Structures are given as C-alpha cells and as structure tokens.
Amino acid sequence: MSRSAHPAGPRHADVYPEGHYTAPAADLNVLDEKVWARTVRRNADGVVTVGGREVSRLAEEFGTPAYFLDESDFRARCRAWADAFGPDADVFYAGKAFLSRAVVRWLKEEGLNLDVCSGGELTTALDAGMPAERIAFHGNNKSVEEIERAVRVGVGRIVLDSFQEIVRVAHIAQSQGKRQRVQIRVTVGVEAHTHEFIATAHEDQKFGIALADGQAAEAVRRALRLDGLELIGIHSHIGSQIFDMAGFEVSARRVVQLLTEVRDEHGVELPEIDLGGGLGIAYTSEDDPREPHEIAKALTEIVGRECEAAGLSTPRISVEPGRAIVGPTAFTLYEVGTIKPLEGLRTYVSVDGGMSDNIRTALYDAEYSVALVSRTSDAEPMLVRVVGKHCESGDIVVRDAFLPADLAPGDLIAVPATGAYCRSMASNYNHSLRPPVVAVNDGEARVIVRRETEEDLLRLDVG
C-alpha cells in the first residue's frame, strides 16, 4: 500500500485492497453472525436489536455515535478462554483493547487476570477492585513512578522489556524491601500478520530482548543475579490480528528452547511462560478466526511436547488476548447525515462520527463491515464508502461495502466488531466528543463510559 502523497483526483481512492471481496452479499438484510455480537438479531419489524434492545430506541436514549457492548457476549468469551486453557493456565485480558471499571469487574467475576501497560490502566484496574496479584504490568518504557507504584501495590508480575529495566525494577523493588515477580519479554524472531508469519533472525522493533545472539540468555543471567527480582518466566508476544497458528507454535518452541538453555546453564527451571495475545477476529465475512479452544490445544500440545523432549517439567502457560475477547462484542451505531453519489464510482455516506471513534481504517487500512440497522430494505445494493465528519479525506470508517440504494439521511447504520482498539484509541480530533460505551444485557442498557461533553473539553483547556 502506498502512503505517498497523491493528487486528489476523482478516482484517486478507487482501488480495492488486494483480495477484497467485490460482490455484495445475497441479502443485505441478513446479519452475518460471524461479525456481530452474539445477541444481535433483526426483529419482526426489521429493526436490529442487541441484548433485546432495539437500536432505534438505544439511539434515542443514548444518542449517536455510540458504542454498544454486549455484556453477555463479553462474559461468555472470557469463560471460553478460561475454560479452553483450564485451571493449569492463566488468561490475562489485554486492557489496551478496551478498559473501563465495569470491564474490570466482569473480568474479576469471570476469573480472568488483567494485563495493563500504563499507570492509567493500572489505576482503572485497582480502582475497580482487581486484586494486584492478578495484574501483569507491561510496556517498553515504564516510568520510574509507574514501576514504583506497581511494586508498591504488589502486581503479580512486571514484564521486563529491556536491559535497563532489569536493573531499574530490581533497584526499586529492593529499595521497597521487596522481591518483585518478573518475566522477561523476548523477541523470538517471529513476526505474525493476519494470514502469515515471517521468521527473521533479528526483529527490527522496539519491544523486548532478542533471543538472537544470546541476548535473552544474558538478560536471564542478569535477572537471576539480582536480589530484588524473582524471575518466574519468559514472555513472548508476536503480533496482533493473527489467524495463522504456525507463528504461535514457532514462538512457543523457541521460548521452551530458552527455558532448556536456562536449566542447563543455571540449574533453574523457570516455572512460567506467557505467549502473549494476538488471536484475530472476523471484521468481515471473509475472515475465518480460530476459536480459543483451538489455540489452547495447539499451544498446550506444542509446549508439552517440547518440554518432554527436553526433559523439562511443563511450565504454567499464560496468554493475553485483548481483541479476541472484546472486539466482536461491540458495534458502533451512527446516524447517516449526508449521501453523495458519484456516478460510476461509489456513494459517499457521511456519518456523525469517523476517525475520532475508529482510527483503525485510516491507520492500518483495516476492513470493516456495515449494515443498515434501523429498518430492512429491498433496494438494490450500492457500493458505498462510509466516511466521518472530520476535516480530511482520509477520514474513512468503512472503505468499501454495500448498503441498500434507498439509504437516506436519518437512517441508522452500524459497524460491527468495534469493541477492540476503537474507544481505546479514540481522539478529540476537531474537538469532537468521544462517544459513550453502553453495555447492553438482557433488556437493560447502561452507560459504562459516558459521552464526552463540551464542558470536558473546556475543563482541560485552562484558558
């Protein structure tokens, strides 16, 4: 994909992403359950419902744009992950995908742990009552203040990301008279993308310590020497939105290889390994994600087999899914404002949100689906580009999709699978107000993150 400047001619954007599906679905009124939260249905009046609530009523009550999150689906996905890995493993939800105090309480109730990567996420977790020992603290440049607080409150583990951090955390722990449980994040030379992975000798990236050139082995050597640290294991995270299991398997194999080297050199068997997050979800009908039990089976088998071959006792495995838990559970509801047909090209449909509530399309060329949800329609499909209300032409929510040709201003449309990395990456661009997150469950809808107001904007602007 080219990101170079281009003249803004009429056809400049008229290119389908490679492998993009170009045919409309047979019936645009049918909601593909693969991309929608589990309780989403279309009722007898043709109105879409979630948790038994009609989107038209939800729009009246909470306004648009807004994210609607299916709480029972979220909880069911937590349970599916916990059940898939069983009692001898730990599931850490990656809070960066979407975090709020309600979410923390659901995680706690469903028996999940939590991965945080900033002081703000830590505050949210602790405020909502997540026990500190169930929290893992991540980040490639944690501040001294963040580390001091994490150690003080007693987080279950800090994932060390660099040589500097090994010393920094050890020093802080020691000065508090503590021994901090830590893992070392290694880069295993695997970079995974949606349908493929690349194995490289060195990973050209900011995270972690490379396995290559004995660097990770050296990090282990240093960590084992420091009194302030209790080294409990090795961590690896290979990427995000991954469908191909092979990358996880190579990663698991390489991490076990390091455990073997550590045992041989130090006579120490590190008791845990964390294989990170990254499992992909369906954004469109073309995507075919793996289920948690498939990934659990594959990882457990490979780790078990490799450890047996090396004569190691099997370590406790943990994983950190974010997107795969929250992503599919929410959709963004928008009202159509203007419609601009370009003969022979496409129709631009402008909604009342945009890149401020979903930056993923602009940032990653992400693909999304969209449906008319306030009514059904028998009109012909028209090729649309759903765009926002921001002051730039890259403000695209759904690049290419089909909506019925009788679409009109005032219709409600919804973009599914926006639970992960949409509200958490939302911005105030153009001084827009970040939308609320509304949890819907069993006929009840309640705001869990309220809509920003103009007062919120002015409160930060001290004049």
421 binds ligand LLP (CB under 6 A): yes
328 binds ligand LLP (CB under 6 A): no
Q: In this complex, which beta carbon is closest to ligand LLP, that of residue 59 or of residue 317?
A: 317
Q: In this complex, which beta carbon is closest to ligand LLP, that of residue 51 or of residue 416?
A: 416
Residue from 173, 324, 371, 407 in contact with ligand LLP (CB under 6 A): 324
Q: Of 238, 242, 257, 240, which Cα lies nearest the Cα of 199? A: 238
> Among the candidate windows 8-16, 172-180, 316-324, 442-450, which touches ligand LLP by CB under 6 A?
316-324
Q: CA 108 → CA 111, 117, 398, 450, distances in Å?
A: 5, 18, 34, 22
Instruction: Report residue 20 as tokens.
Output: 């993009």
463 is in an annotated binding site: no
Q: What ranges in 40-177 are assigned the alpha helix state H?
A: 55-62, 71-85, 101-109, 119-127, 144-153, 163-175
What is the CB neighbour count within 10 angstroms for residue 100?
A: 18
Q: In this complex, which beta carbon is closest to ligand LLP, that of residue 203 or of residue 411?
A: 203
241 binds ligand LLP (CB under 6 A): yes
CA separation for the pair 100, 447 (Å, rounded): 11
CB of 6 closer than 8 Å to CB of 384:
no
322 is in an annotated binding site: yes
What helix, strand, coil percent values describe the chain, rounded to 5? Answer: 30, 25, 45
Q: In this complex, which beta carbon is closest to ligand LLP, that of residue 346 or of residue 360?
A: 360
392 is in an annotated binding site: yes
- Taking the CA atoms of 446, 451, 453 and 456 in sequence, report the sign of the dihedral they define: positive
Residue from 138, 254, 290, 390 in contact with ligand LLP (CB under 6 A): 138
CA angle 137, 141, 147 (to 5 degrees): 45
290 binds ligand LLP (CB under 6 A): no
Q: In this complex, which beta carbon is closest to ligand LLP, that of residue 59 or of residue 330?
A: 330
322 binds ligand LLP (CB under 6 A): yes
Least distance in angstroms from the C-beta of 83 to ligand LLP: 18
Beta bridge partners of 94: 115
354 binds ligand LLP (CB under 6 A): no
Least distance in angstroms from the C-beta of 404 to ligand LLP: 29
The one-letter amino acid code at 322 reads G
Q: Of 425, 373, 435, which Cα lies nearest the Cα of 65? A: 435
CA separation for the pair 182, 294 (Å, rounded): 28
CA separation for the pair 351, 336 (Å, rounded): 5
Mark whether 117 is an active-site residue.
no
Site string for ligand LLP, 269-288 (x = CB under 6 A): -------xxxx---------
Catalytic residue among 117, 307, 391, 422: 391
Interacting positions 76-105 with ligand LLP (CB under 6 A): 94, 96-97
CA separation for the pair 139, 156 (Å, rounded): 15
> Among the candidate windows 172-180, 233-241, 309-317, 336-344, which touches ligand LLP by CB under 6 A?
233-241
Least distance in angstroms from the C-beta of 207 to ligand LLP: 7
Interacting positions 357-396 with ligand LLP (CB under 6 A): 360, 364
Residue 66 φ/ψ, nearest 5 degrees: -155, 150
Residue 217 φ/ψ, nearest 5 degrees: -60, -40
Q: CA 137 → CA 96, 227, 319, 399, distances in Å?
A: 12, 20, 14, 36
Q: In this complex, which beta carbon is closest to ligand LLP, that of residue 49 or of residue 100?
A: 100
Binding residues for substrate: 323, 360, 364, 392, 421
What residues are designated binding site? 278, 320-323, 360, 364, 392, 421
Task: Kindly list the catalytic residues.
Answer: 391
Residues near ligand LLP (CB under 6 A): 94, 96-97, 115, 138, 237, 240-241, 276-279, 320-324, 360, 364, 420-421
The binding site for pyridoxal 5'-phosphate comprises 278, 320-323, 421
